[in-house]
Amino acid sequence: AHEAYAAARPRSAAIHERARAVMPGGNTRSVLFYTPFPTAMVRGEGCRLWDADGREYLDLLGEYTAGLFGHSETRIIEAVKQALDRGINLASVGEAEQDLARLIIGRFPSIELVRFTNSGTEANLLALAAARGFTGRTKVMVMRGGYHGGVLTFATEQSAVNLPIPLAFTDYNDPAAATRDILAEGSLLAAVLVEPMLGSGGCIPASREFLQALRDATRQTGAVLIFDEVMTSRHGPGGLQQRMDVIPDMTTLGKYMAGGMSFGAFGGRADIMAVFDGHKPGTLPHAGTFNNNVWSMAAGCVAMGEIFDAATAEALYARGEALRDALNAACTAAGVGMQFTGRGSMLTVHFRPGPITAPYAATPAENALRELFFFDLLAQGIYLARRGMAALSLPVGEADCARYVAAVEEFVAARKPLLA
């Protein structure tokens, strides 16, 4: 698969070779790295992409959920242009900032007050800082295999090197263990940080029982419960928390919410967020030159105020559910131990049968199939995350979904002897 891939992409190969001289691994986003070299995209329109060698793709990656509006939504582009016409960042507060804050507060049940950052990574760091400041405690609990950005990447006891604060761990979707572990930490624990569906960790939904166990145990010990909805906030008008009917103390946001411009936000209970209130003594600092940059704020107002309304969020969720059902029906019909997990418009392929409720160590055979899947789909003109995740954007239509199902059927037919 690698040879055909490389032969079809001489320009991408050359770009990668040049990049390696100035950046370790040839890029600055680990998720975009794969061997032999990543495809270099040079143009996008709607849900189409073109690479440096002139090949066209259906974009089902949707910039890892940040590309919800596609690559050419004119209302977003207009909003950004108009904002820049009034001057590149003015070192000042602006009204778009509070307009966007109001839109977000109106949507998410857990958010009474909100602040902006440049990324989801920062949003999580600042939410943890808020929880630590509010509780006067230091330790933070995360899920093994959770993903919270560049500093808590597929969290394990070993990978905490990027985040120099004391961490505790528990297992995803194990209510009894989580309850026990939270209660054992007791008054040491400042916060529990959890994705209501593991996103990068495999599109593995949390059970309501698990989220409720976290809610109950944190209420008992006084730890702040933080939902990382950087990816999952798209799953309903009020995010996945509203759909699951479990409301955390704080929520972190990011990705698509500024129309694809860089973005992050964290918010929650007013008494917790008050740790940043400059009107009060002893507040925590939260600076950041680009926190309220004019293009993200302007694009965010249009994205959340005009385009991604409640009906659009529900329609996207339904489209994703229908696609995943069709894909799983195709796998079942073919009798292969392959499945697509997720919720709504986010889905990941797995090469094992049976329920998947927690991150797992993939076997070499599974890893080989995942790699084949990525390169086979790419050869069919479909762009996914290397790990096999898709995140639908609004321009992805019925015909595009049908094309993905047909491409998966072709993969299954071609690779059937390898599929258990």
Which residues of this protein are in contact with ligand PMP, per CB under 6 A?
Answer: 64, 119-121, 124, 147-150, 195, 199-200, 228, 230-231, 254, 264
Q: How far is the CB of 131 from ligand PMP (least distance, A)?
A: 16
Of 356, 398, 101, residue with least CA distance to 206 = 356
Closest chain position to ligand PMP (CB): 120
346, β-bridge pairs:
343, 391
**For residues 41 and 326, which CB has a smaller minimum distance to ligand PMP in the complex?**
41
CA distance 383 to 301: 29
**For residues 149 and 268, which CB has a smaller minimum distance to ligand PMP in the complex?**
149
Q: Which helix (H) or strand (E) holds 254?
A: strand 250-254
Q: How far is the CB of 148 from ligand PMP (least distance, A)?
A: 5
What single-letter amino acid sits at 160?
A
Residue 85: partners with Cβ closer than 8 Å, 6 or more residues away: none
Q: Which two tokens stand for residue 329?
A: 């029906």
Q: How far is the CB of 137 from ligand PMP (least distance, A)?
A: 22
**For residues 46 and 254, which CB has a smaller minimum distance to ligand PMP in the complex?**
254
389, β-bridge pairs:
348
What is the Cα Rg of the chain in Å? Answer: 21
262 sits in the region (left: phi over 0; alpha: psi -120 to 50; else beta) called beta
Q: How far is the CB of 380 from ligand PMP (least distance, A)?
A: 25
Q: Which DSSP letter does residue 199 get?
A: S
**For residues 164 and 282, which CB has a smaller minimum distance to ligand PMP in the complex?**
164
Q: How far is the CB of 296 from ligand PMP (least distance, A)?
A: 12
Q: How far is the CB of 13 from ligand PMP (least distance, A)?
A: 27
154, 146 in Cβ contact below 8 A?
A: yes
**For residues 254 and 268, which CB has a smaller minimum distance to ligand PMP in the complex?**
254
Question: How would you classify the pairing of strands 224-228 and 113-117?
Answer: unpaired
Angle, alpha carbons 302-308-309 (nearest 5°): 105
CA distance 182 to 200: 24
**For residues 213 and 389, which CB has a smaller minimum distance to ligand PMP in the complex?**
389
Q: How far is the CB of 153 from ligand PMP (least distance, A)?
A: 9
CA distance 128 to 284: 12
**For residues 13 and 346, which CB has a smaller minimum distance to ligand PMP in the complex?**
346
